[in-house]
A and B are shown apart, each in its own frame.
Chain A
Amino acid sequence: MRRSWVPVAVLWLGYTVLMMWAVAQFNWLPEQWAIEAEVVDEAMVLLQYLGAPVMALVLAVMTWALIAWRSNGANRPDGPPQRDNRTVLTTWLIVTSALAIFVVINPGFVGLAEIRGEPSADYVIEVEAAQFFWKVTYPNGTESFDELVVPSERRVRYDVTSVDVNHSFWIPAFRIKIDAVAGLTTQAFATAEHEGGIDDDINLRIQCAELCGAGHASMAMPVRVVSDQEFNEYIETLGEGE
């Protein structure tokens, strides 16, 4: 019988190294503008590293199958009558279960705790969704339909609701998302890190992420991150303007 596990192991190692190198080398993720974004991105990268050897294993077998296990014709000799292999099956079950348990704990529960675990916040901003626009209400009661201005390095709680159908409050640059549901107030937390606006990064925007009707695609609002002081001045002047 041909020994196949050596070349498959070599291929597996090769693919794994290649994929891990690619994960380290190329960053597919957009720029981070909040602490929450770091948590999410870390989780994404960790899962890519964990997925690499799994993917590499299947690819290695596929590659070697294409190279070494070809035969031709309906009357070719049969392959080895291998029905089962307890060791392989048990190992497989243990490894996949261990991987599943691992990802549930980290980044699963660890990430969950970091994003949603701490209920305290420096500011509360109310967000109301409607077909097809956003309304934000700042702590001092002033409102805006044009842009969301948030302080940097302060933890902000967003109290989100809807007046009609379901929408979803998503700021891609912060990696936070929560649905806006009429009759409910849902919450999301984000701590912006540095100052900037939609001109710096298209992902500094509130984007509706739940299909809500004709204007769904264009239901977006720019987000601007400013210093804490500027934020307080901004909401003051916004109040005076009314």
Chain B
Amino acid sequence: MTMLEDSPAQSTGSTAQDSSTETKPRPKARRPFRWVLRGVVLAIIGWATGVALAIAIRGGSPTDEIVVIVAYVFALIGWLAGVGGIEAFGRQWIGKKPQVNTDPSWGRYFGFSIDHKVIGIQYGVTLIAVLLIGGLAAMIMRIELASPGVGVVDLDDFNKIVSMHGILMVAVAVAGVLGAFGNYVVPIQVGAQDMAFPRINALAFWLLPPVAVGLLGAPLLGSFNAGWTAYAPLSVVNESGQILFNMAIITFGLVSILGAINIIVTVITMRAKGLTWGRLPIFTWAAFSTSLLAFTVTQFFAGALVLVTMDRVVGTSFFAPEVGTSLLYQHIFWFYSHPAVYIMVIPGFGVILELTTTFARKPLFAYKAVVAAFLGIVGLSVVVWAHHMFTSGMADFLHGPFMILTEAISIPTGIIFLSMIGTLWQGALWFRTPLVMAFGWLFNFLIGGITGIFLADIATDIHLHDTYFVVAHFHYTIVGGAIFALLAASFYWFPKITGRMYNEKLGTLFAIWVTVAFNLTFIPLFWAGMNGMNRRIGDYPDAYAGANRFASFAALILGASFLLFVWNMLYSAIRGPKAGPNPWNARTLEWLISSPPPTHNFVKEPVVVGAPYDYGVEGSVHAYFKDPDPAAPPEPTTEDVSAEVQDEALAESQEEVS
């Protein structure tokens, strides 16, 4: 502890750069919704133009699938132009300086801001909203499944709700931690002023609302009912909502790839002086590894959906039932979608390890092994996809290799557990909400991991595949691994992002509530699956009534817990007590600056001189801030392009005002 107080870079108390923490009058928002409104108007105009154009060329009705595709593309372009693309990109094409939204009030969250912190919050809030909508779909499913027979929704509607729930939640799990906290935290942890490509970053975020609108709008054309997996040939022959699913998910792939490129380049090129790879905070390592994976494999899902779309609209027969090539779809699909599981959970590993070391007040155990494990998972995850296909009818000789590789991936994953246990070992555990969530995470992911072995082993998978056992297993890994990490991260970085503290009692209550309710919901479903209840069904034999009634009841309690979460977040963001720059007494760079951080993150240049998590190490310092040398001329660096663009835009907007 002593060395922390001695160190010049120590952030506690008045030594921190708390320039923005003194109370200032909040700036008033000036027509904050005008950009979104312009985007909506141009999107509608784009849609109408697309429909008119397509019909003029080939005739037909506005609900024809090819017309919908053209209209969607035009609407997407209209939306992006309207929401800020004209100023951020279009102006440059005619030789003018690009402009971005620099509204200092809360209105900046509704504009084309290139500040990574604004974009992180935009992702976070959007995806939490999607999470709640997906959760609502789950509640309808559990109400329907509370008793056998057809109740509140009929069988086909149930399939549609399952599909909607699946794809919305997959989107949240893929983009949740990485979009919200990858954007907000990574640039600060590496000591940069912003992302490498701030305008691309904003563009990636503004592609996200069309994804949500596309998916949620699909019921207008007859909703997709082929699950989030969209297996062909069912996805070739079902209702037209499938087209909107395909377009939305291809767009979502773009979000993922653009975001991944940004994080990769930022981490490689924009690290602060002295921030070597061996000193990189573990969350940044996780975000970086995940981005490598997302950048490499995301296009395969998009590619599979392009083939499905072509089968539907131009009469190709990649997956037509007659030709027996539907296994091809599954291979391409899982080539993305199995790595996608790791795209979901590796950022979760990062979050949990990051906050465990902070709250255990110990160095991260086996840091290098964890980094090796991340990269090992990235490498192995692209060669295990066919373990989703043990019962698909693929050639028997493929079973062995994929079983070996699948079991092999349990070894790097085991390292994560070792690091977590080793970090907790004899630590000084401070049980704040993030650590309580991390304990919930550990328990859930443990069950997820153990039950995964049953599905990796062919002998048992043949029985368990496509049953509720699988449903319970992947909820333990994805909800337990990714969503719990998203919630934990929300609490952990809440004081940094809002400058205020959440309510600790309500936070802990929520963490315990959500963990208990989650387990009560999904444990009985393991039993149901083993005993012959298959997944994605709106009706089931009476034999499974007991387990389902119990699970449904628990699920409603689980759903209710999120009201507490939302209340705590919203109320505390506005009324919570001031948190100060470093309430957790943590060491990474984001905690050494004020809460919330200043516009360009660092008032003085950060210089990294030591490991990020050397808690308890005498005299250890992670970073300090260099005082600017008054003699040296201000040198323009290649790193703060974003800052320049933003400063210029700010100057222009101020001229406008005056």
Q: Which A residues lie at the B interface, using CB under 8 A? A: 1-2, 4, 28-30, 39-40, 43-44, 47, 50-51, 54-55, 57-59, 61-62, 65-66, 69-85, 88-89, 92-93, 96-97, 100-101, 103-104, 107-112, 114-116, 160, 162-166, 168, 170, 172-173, 175-179, 181-184, 186, 202-203, 207-218
From A39, A116, A211, B226 is in contact (CB under 8 Å) with A211
Q: Quick one: which of A55, A76, A179, A213 contacts B428, CB cutoff 8 A?
A: A76
Give the residue among B361, B366, B426 with the most A Cβ atoms within 10 A. Answer: B426
Q: Does B459 contact A (CB under 8 A)?
A: yes
Which of A80, A178, A215, A216 is B391 in contact with, Cβ under 8 Å?
Answer: A178
Select one of A43, A79, A209 contacting B615, CB under 8 A: A79
Q: Which of B393, B536, B542 has the most CB of A within 10 A?
A: B393
**B458 nearest CB neighbor, chain A only:** A112
Contact of A30 among B324, B456, B532 (CB under 8 A): B532
- Tell me, rounded to whole Å, the shortest Cβ–Cβ distance linking B170 to chain A: 15
CA distance A164 to B238 in the complex (A): 12
Residues in B lying within 8 Å of A, measured CB to CB? 1, 155-156, 158-159, 225-227, 229, 231, 233-234, 237-238, 321-327, 360-369, 391-393, 396, 399-400, 403-404, 407-408, 410-411, 414-415, 417-418, 421-422, 424-431, 439, 442-443, 446-447, 450, 453-454, 456-460, 462-463, 465-467, 526-527, 530-532, 534-543, 583-585, 614-617
Known: A80-B426, A172-B532, A182-B233. 5 other contacts (CB 8 A): A78-B362, A79-B428, A183-B321, A184-B324, A211-B234
Verify A172–B463 contact, CB threshold 8 A. yes
Task: Please indicate the chain A residues that have their CB under 8 angstroms from the CB of B234 in the complex.
Answer: 165-166, 211-213
Pick 25 A–B contacts, CB within 8 A, sort by A: A4-B426, A47-B454, A50-B453, A51-B450, A55-B450, A58-B417, A65-B427, A69-B424, A72-B430, A78-B1, A78-B361, A78-B615, A82-B422, A85-B366, A104-B403, A177-B462, A178-B393, A181-B392, A182-B233, A182-B322, A183-B322, A208-B534, A210-B466, A213-B159, A217-B538
The distance in angstroms between the C-alpha atoms of A5 and B442, with both chains bound, is 20
B326-A44 in contact (CB<8A) = no
How many whole Å from A4's CB to the nearest CB in chain B? 5
CA distance A186 to B364 in the complex (A): 50
Q: Chain A contacts of B322 at CB under 8 A?
A: 182-183
Do B158 and A217 touch across chains, with their CB atoms under 8 A apart? yes
Question: Smallest distance from the beta carbon of B443 to chain A beta carbons, Å?
Answer: 7
Chain A's closest residue to B540 (CB) is: A217
Contact A112 B363 (CB under 8 A): no
Q: What residues on B are CB-neighbors of A4 within 8 Å?
A: 425-426
For B447, the chain A residues whose CB sits under 8 A away are 55
Bound CA–CA A146/B69 (angstroms): 43
Distance A218 CA – B541 CA, assembled complex (angstroms): 9
Whether the pair B458, A61 counts as a contact (CB closer than 8 A) is no
Q: Evaluate contact between B326 and A62: CB separation under 8 angstroms.
A: no
Q: How far is the CA of A76 from the CA of B361 in the complex (A)?
A: 9
- Please give me the residue from chain B that is nearest to A76 by CB atom: B428
**A107 CA / B355 CA spacing, docked (Å):** 38
Assembled-state Cα–Cα distance A39/B439 (Å): 36
How far does the Cβ of A59 sit from chain B's closest Cβ, in whole Å?
A: 8
- Is the pair B459, A217 in contact by a Cβ cutoff of 8 Å? no
- Please name all residues of chain A whose beta carbon is closer than 8 Å to the beta carbon of B156 when the two chains form the complex: 213-214
Q: B225, A213: Cβ atoms under 8 Å?
A: yes
In the complex with contacts A61-B425, A177-B462, A182-B321, A213-B238 CB distance below 8 A = yes
Identity of the chain B residue whose Cβ is nearest the Cβ of A219 in the assembled complex:
B537
Give the residue name and chain of the B residue nearest to A177 (CB).
Answer: B391
Minimum CB–CB distance for A233 against chain B, Å = 29
Q: Known interface pairs A183-B323, A207-B534. Does A176 touch B393 (Cβ–Cβ under 8 Å)?
A: no
B391 surroundings in chain A (CB, below 8 A): 168, 177-179, 209
Q: Nearest CB to that of A160 among chain B residues?
A: B393
What's the minimum C-beta distance from B499 to chain A, rounded to whole angstroms? 17
> What's the Cα separation between A88 and B415 when bound, in Å?
11
What's the least CB distance linking B392 to chain A, in Å? 5
With both beta carbons as reference points, the residue of chain A lying nearest to B532 in the complex is identified as A172
Does the CB pair A92–B418 fall under 8 Å? yes
Bound Cα distance A215, B155 (Å): 7
Residue of A nearest to B405 (CB): A104
- On whether A96 and B459 interact (CB within 8 A), knowing A83-B363, A88-B418, A215-B155, the answer reads no
A59 to B420, CA, bound (A): 12
A214 CB contact (under 8 Å) in B155, B424, B526: B155
Contacts of A186 in B (CB 8 A): 393
Expressed in whole angstroms, the Cα–Cα distance for A75 and B159 within the complex equals: 53
Closest to B443 in A: A62
B66 CB → nearest A CB, Å: 22
Is B457's CB under 8 angstroms from A82's CB? no
Query: From A172, which residue of chain B is reached at the shortest CB distance?
Result: B532
State whether A81 and B617 are in contact (beta carbons under 8 Å apart), knowing that A58-B417, A210-B466, A217-B539 are contacts in the complex: yes
| A89/B369 in contact, CB under 8 A | yes
A168 to B324, CA, bound (A): 15
Nearest B residue to A218, CB-CB: B539
Shortest distance from the beta carbon of B183 to any chain A beta carbon, whole Å: 27
4 tightest Cβ-Cβ pairs between the two chains A and B: A183-B324, A111-B459, A172-B532, A78-B616
**Residues from chain A with Cβ under 8 Å of B408 in the complex:** 100
Question: Given that A55-B450, A70-B429, A83-B363 are contacting pairs, would A43 and B460 also be in contact in the complex, using a CB cutoff of 8 Å?
Answer: yes
Per a CB cutoff under 8 Å, which of A39, A74, A93 touches B585?
A74
Indicate which residue in B369, B459, B467, B538 contacts A108 across the interface (CB closer than 8 Å): B459
- Minimum C-beta distance from B69 to chain A (A): 23
What separation, in Å, do the CA atoms of A62 and B440 have in the docked complex?
10
> In the complex, are the beta carbons of B527 and A28 less than 8 A apart?
yes
CA distance A107 to B460 in the complex (A): 8
CA distance A1 to B425 in the complex (A): 12
User: In the bound complex, do residue A170 and residue B466 qualify as a contact, i.e. CB atoms below 8 Å apart?
Assistant: yes
Alpha-carbon distance between A212 and B231 when the two chains are bound, in angstroms: 9
- State A139–B550 Cα separation when bound (angstroms): 45
A85–B366 Cα distance when bound, in Å, is 7
Would you call B360 and A203 a contact (CB within 8 A)? Answer: no
Judging by beta carbons under 8 Å apart, are A211 and B231 in contact? yes
> Roughly how many angstroms separate A44 CA and B530 CA in the complex, as a whole number?
10
Whether B463 lies near A216 (C-beta < 8 A) is no
Taking the closest CB of chain A, its distance from the CB of B96, in whole angstroms, is 50
With A and B bound together, what is the CA distance between A181 and B527 in angstroms? 28
Contact among A2, A59, A71, A85 for B430, CB-based, below 8 A: A71
Q: How far is the CB of A214 from chain B (nearest CB, A)?
A: 4
